Chains A and B, each alone.
Chain A
Amino acid sequence: MSQNHQLSATDVTLGYGERTIVEKLSVTLPPGQFTVIVGANACGKSTLLRGLARLLAPVSGAVYLDGRAIHQMSTREVATVLGVLPQTPVAPDGITVADLVGRGRYPHQGWFRQWTATDDAAVASALQATDTLDLAQRSVDELSGGQRQRVWIAMALAQRTDILLLDEPTTFLDINHQVEVLDLLTDLVRTQGRTVVAVLHDLNLACRYADHIVAMQGGRIVAEGAPAQVMQPGVVKTVFGIDSEVVIDPVSQSPMIVPIGRHHRLKLAVPAE
């Protein structure tokens, strides 16, 4: 399953009703790499992800999977290649963790196929990878926000798709679980050759883990490339409207954005008034 599929968008315009959020945007997601989309709230990053995930039909332009327009492919076919963690999933009343994660196997099961050992193994490894194995019998309603988030990620993992799209997978998670999840996604890329695209809130985690960063603002891509190239103070200013200093993360050697706010300014040789 390390066959690299390619996902790209060409001149795609996305919106809801009369509101256009993303206009004539083109992007190619490098196969076999970890791409992170960053940007301020309402910059269009979730909308772009939904368009790429085939959850939102483009007003114009198209999203291509291996050169074929994704909206002309059958939903089932796409689901075996593309896995998605949507932003606001709904858990039915009373469902257990194992059952929910098990639903991730549906694209591989069709109408009549019964459960096989492969399915069990996929569910089990997804649970293990997200550290939710001991929650398997629990009801999803009873879990904390962070636990629930990991369970949904497990469901996306159980799908065992070549490409994985995740919308804000690290919200609600403690720092240790944030790192765990991102490490896990990195494993998928490095050892299994999968393609992972995630929308992340945290710039510094993005810089640490991403092979490729896409920075968005106002529905457009402002900068794209390796973290070291993209994360310059100028880009941060454009995307987030904040001054910053870029240093080197001592652990990962990736760029680390240090924000400059009102109360914390640089200690300059000439003191500011």
Chain B
Amino acid sequence: MMLAAGQRSTRVPARAGGLLLLGVALVVVLFFSITVGARPIALGDVLAAITAPDPDSTTHRIILELRLPRTLVGLLVGAALGLAGAILQGATRNPLADPGLLGIQSGATLCVVLGISVFGITTLSGYVWLAFLGAGIAAVAVYLIASMGREGATPVKLALAGAAVTAALGSITSAILITSVETLDQIRFWQVGALTGRTMDILAQVAPFLLLGIALALTTGRILDGLAMGDDVARGLGQRVQLNRAFAGLAAVILAGAAVAAAGPIAFVGLTIPHVARAMAGPNYRWILPYSMLLGPILLLGADIIGRVIVPPGELQVGIVTAAIGAPFFIAFVRRRKLAEL
């Protein structure tokens, strides 16, 4: 059916308008993320802290050393998870794909566990590099396994190889944890996924990778739209399918690896945000990606804020709240909308 000329041109402004609304929502969330907490802080103090920091003021120190880096980490990690999930779902054409698919989260966890049990590393910034290393190795292993054989890394093989590697690494991790109580005691907090304690150091370590990943990810829109039509059609349109899938996968691995390095394995965001983004933005990845990029931090920071206030005087880690709040919302969402199948 041919669209009347007027109809097509109203779609772009509608989607851009949606992005704008999300952007506003994100700013609101950022605001609350800085001001809300065990010690409420006013907007004026925030501005003062940024522009004219007073080293003796506790409030300023809280803002600059705790709230601001935490918020920024949450912002980048949320964006990274949303984008990584969208890319993986598009590249594998499977709605169940998520950042954990390529073994990234289990690889990171195992490496951190090894770091704790074998080398006695217990600092958060130590975990960052271990996690990154583990994520990278796992992703490469998954890709190599999936590429064995004639057809190369097809979506189904990637998914299966990813699941296989995840399970294998998970087994080794369990084995170590069962035999070493001290490691278990350390890892059970990191493994939940949290933004607590993410200071400027951590931010400085992970930010370059997160930003690089986000930049790469936003260029993959055209590739993903091509892959979405099926390998044959994409090839027919002149796309180099294997190369494109590898490139998209690389962007996803950088994003997911940096995200898990920064905040630990957060399970829910990368899987569900792309579905919401797709329902809002349509099937075009050039829109799904920016939508995912904004929806991710809204969910993550929103969950973090709730986690800070819901169980005073303590905190509920963001990994738990994201699932506890995101899941019911997601289920309601799945029920109400007619979701386009991939």
Chain A positions within 8 Å of B, measured between CB atoms, are: 17, 41-42, 93
Contact = CB atoms under 8 A, between A and B. Distances in A.
B338 A41 contact: no
A42 B1 contact: yes
B140 to A, nearest CB: 27
Interface in B96-114: none
Interface string B156-198: 1000000000000000000000000000000000000000000
B1 A17 contact: no
A18 to B, nearest CB: 10
B339 to A, nearest CB: 13
Contacts, number: 4
Nearest to A41: B1
Interface in B10-26: none
A141 B1 CA distance: 30
Contacts of A41: 1
Nearest to A145: B232
Interface string B322-342: 000000000000000010000
Contacts of A42: 1
Interface string B105-129: 0000000000000000000000000
Q: Top 4 closest A-B pairs, CB basis?
A: A42-B1, A41-B1, A17-B338, A93-B156
A93 B160 CA distance: 14
Contacts of A17: 338
Interface in B291-342: 338
4 contacts: A17-B338, A41-B1, A42-B1, A93-B156
Nearest to A42: B1
A47 to B, nearest CB: 14
A172 to B, nearest CB: 13
A93 B156 CA distance: 11
A93 B159 CA distance: 15
Interface in B125-169: 156
Nearest to A93: B156
A42 B2 CA distance: 11
